[in-house]
Each structure stands twice: as structure tokens, then as C-alpha cells.
């Protein structure tokens, strides 16, 4: 049983809103709804009541709430116990990061860090959400955009600009596009935060939501001419034939950083390394 399903359902019941719970859970509302459906199917009982006024636990869900909360507590205790055992070996550095960061940013960082610190073993978890990984001491460091790493101590590494992702012949010859230039086309979205924050979504010809953290799915849809998208430069480093990226004007970007909580010797060495890495990138 995936505890993330329980956590998502209870969060929706707490706020009486799938949208608000999805925002805190770093999911889309439809994805969180699918998660709740999957848990109900797994348990064979209806847990969540959905109405126009919001969502709430059914009678069965209320009866099972205490059991579900016990499962979450057990997971936290397991993570804490595992973390305590991990502390006995201070030469292990545990990292959690999004897929695009794990693919295009971390490899060069880890390679250089290992060259200078060959005795430190590195473990990387590729995740869809950073929530809870530091708080439950499951990892030592998380990499992500600043909006996702919470209020933990952090170091900003780089700015990652957003770019328009277009079929090859769309707006051909343009080196940059305004947001208004994209409105006549269907928009493919995996990040509702970007859509709501920077665009007037009602002006797009259509909105297609992709319930996946895999940006490759978006690139494939754009390649087929289904619509346009806005992704980070980091997520579009791998060239896809039939798709091109164009700068946005005015520029919008996210700040990527690493967050940490408990400082063990391996984490201390990594933070020292990253400060030097950042300085060298600027030079």
C-alpha cells in the first residue's frame, strides 16, 4: 500500500478541497483525485464523498481514519529509525531530487564531488514531490525549486529560465515569443502553478493537463503538433526532433537550490563543495 495515497486523501478531507490539498501535495487536482480513487479501489470501500461544496470523509472513511493515521505514523517511525541507523555511517550522503535535476544537473555535481571525496557514498532518490523527505530524515539534502523545498535552510544554485516549447513549424523564425503569442494554441500543462501564475488560462484555445512528472510526455505531445508548452530549460536539454524551444519575453524563471536540515559530516562536506561549485560556475 502506498502511504502517499493515504496522505493525499486525508489532506483532501482536512481541507475539504482537492485543489487546496493538491497544491500542498505538489500534484494536480485530477491526479490527487486519481490517487484517492486508487486507494478506495485497493481497500474496496468508498472513503471520500465529493460534492459541489467540497470533499469529506464518508462514514466508512471516518471509521477508518484512525487506522490510516496509524499507518502514516508507522511510516514516520520507520523512516526515523532507519535514519538513526544511517547516522552511524557518516560517509553516506542521501539526496532527493526531481527527475529533470537528477538527469541534467546532478550527474556533473556528483562526479566532481566524488572526485574530491571518494570515501563518501552517494544515494539519489528521484521523486515527484520533495515534501517530507527532509522532515522525516529520509535524506540529507533535497534539490528543487525554492517554492518546493519549504522553509528549510537552503543554498541557491542557479536560475532556470522557462522556455516556450513549440512544434518545429510553429512561429517559425522567432527567437523569442511573448506569452500572448501562445494563446491561439492549445496549451499542454503538467505544472498548474506556472499556468495560473504567469498566464491567463482562459485565453488559450484549449488546456490539456498531463498527470505526469515526466516532461518527456509533454515533449512527445508537442512533437505531434497537439499543442504548445512552457517548461524549464533544464527539462528541455535533451533535444527532441520536431520540437524547438524559444525564449519567453519577458523572461520568467525558477530558482533552483538545495535544502538541508541535519548536518552530518558528509552533508557538511557536500555543502562546502557546493559553495565552491557555485562560485566556480559564476567565474
Nearest to 132 by CA among 150, 147, 156: 150
Residue 235 CB neighbour total at 10 angstroms = 26
Mean pLDDT, consecutive 10-residue stretches, the chain (283 aa), reads: 86 90 81 89 92 90 93 88 63 89 91 93 89 87 85 86 94 92 93 82 90 78 94 84 93 91 84 79 53
Residues 205 and 230 placed together within one structural domain of the fold: yes
Residues 94 and 144 placed together within one structural domain of the fold: yes
pLDDT at 276: 84
Residues 152 and 264 placed together within one structural domain of the fold: yes
pLDDT at 258: 92
d(CA 81, CA 189): 39
Longest dimension (CA), the chain: 62
Residues 64 and 195 placed together within one structural domain of the fold: no
Taking the alpha carbons of 31, 33, 37, 42 in that order, is the dihedral positive or negative? Answer: positive
Write out the three cell numbers for 91.
Answer: 560517509
pLDDT at 84: 67
Residues 7 and 66 placed together within one structural domain of the fold: yes
- Given 57, 84, 111, which residue is the final one in a domain? 84
pLDDT at 212: 66
HSE-up (13 A, CA, CB side) for residue 277: 23
- For residue 1, give the 3-state DSSP assignment: coil
- Given 35, 62, 84, which residue is the final one in a domain? 84
Nearest to 186 by CA among 202, 199, 164, 205: 205
Q: What is the phi-psi region of residue 50: left when phi exceeds 0, alpha when psi lies from -120 to 50, beta otherwise? A: beta
Residues 171 and 40 placed together within one structural domain of the fold: no
pLDDT at 283: 44
d(CA 41, CA 133): 27
d(CA 248, CA 201): 17
Write out the three cell numbers for 273.
Answer: 563543495
Residues 152 and 69 placed together within one structural domain of the fold: no
Residues 150 and 261 placed together within one structural domain of the fold: yes
pLDDT at 90: 59
Alpha helices by DSSP H, 186-264: 192-198, 215-223
pLDDT at 135: 83
Residues 127 and 170 placed together within one structural domain of the fold: no
Name the DSSP class of 52.
Answer: T
Residue range of the domain that includes 135: 89-158+255-282
Instruction: Provide the number of structural domains found in the chain.
Output: 3
Residues, the chain, total? Answer: 283
The CATH number for 32's domain is 1.10.10.10
Residues 165 and 246 placed together within one structural domain of the fold: yes
The CATH number for 184's domain is 3.40.190.10
Amino acid at each position: 500500500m502506498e502511504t502517499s495515497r493515504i496522505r493525499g486523501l486525508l489532506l483532501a478531507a482536512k481541507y475539504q478541497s482537492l485543489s487546496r490539498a493538491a497544491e500542498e501535495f505538489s500534484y494536480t487536482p485530477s491526479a490527487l483525485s486519481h490517487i484517492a480513487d486508487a486507494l478506495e479501489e485497493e481497500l474496496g470501500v468508498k472513503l471520500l464523498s465529493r460534492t459541489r461544496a467540497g470533499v469529506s470523509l464518508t462514514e466508512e472513511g471516518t471509521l477508518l481514519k484512525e487506522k490510516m493515521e496509524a499507518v502514516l505514523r508507522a511510516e514516520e517511525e520507520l523512516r526515523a529509525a532507519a535514519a538513526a541507523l544511517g547516522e552511524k555511517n557518516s560517509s553516506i550522503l542521501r539526496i532527493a531530487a526531481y527527475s529533470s535535476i537528477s538527469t541534467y544537473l546532478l550527474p556533473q555535481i556528483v562526479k566532481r564531488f566524488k572526485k574530491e571525496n571518494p570515501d563518501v557514498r552517494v544515494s539519489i532518490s528521484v521523486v515527484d514531490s520533495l515534501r517530507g523527505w527532509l522532515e522525516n530524515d529520509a535524506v540529507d539534502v533535497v534539490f528543487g525549486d525554492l517554492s518546493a523545498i519549504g522553509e528549510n535552510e537552503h543554498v541557491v544554485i542557479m536560475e532556470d529560465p522557462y522556455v516556450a516549447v513549440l512544434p518545429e513549424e510553429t512561429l517559425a523564425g522567432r527567437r523569442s515569443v511573448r506569452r500572448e503569442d501562445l494563446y491561439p494554441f492549445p496549451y499542454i500543462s503538467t505544472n498548474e502553478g506556472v499556468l495560473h501564475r504567469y498566464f491567463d488560462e482562459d485565453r488559450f484555445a484549449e488546456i490539456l493537463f498531463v498527470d505526469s512528472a515526466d516532461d518527456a510526455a509533454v515533449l512527445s505531445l508537442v512533437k505531434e503538433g497537439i499543442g504548445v508548452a512552457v517548461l524549464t530549460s533544464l527539462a528541455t536539454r535533451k533535444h527532441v526532433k520536431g520540437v524547438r524551444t524559444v525564449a519567453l519575453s519577458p523572461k520568467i524563471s525558477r530558482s533552483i537550490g538545495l535544502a538541508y536540515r541535519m548536518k552530518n559530516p558528509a552533508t557538511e562536506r557536500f555543502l562546502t563543495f557546493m559553495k565552491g561549485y557555485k562560485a566556480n560556475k559564476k567565474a
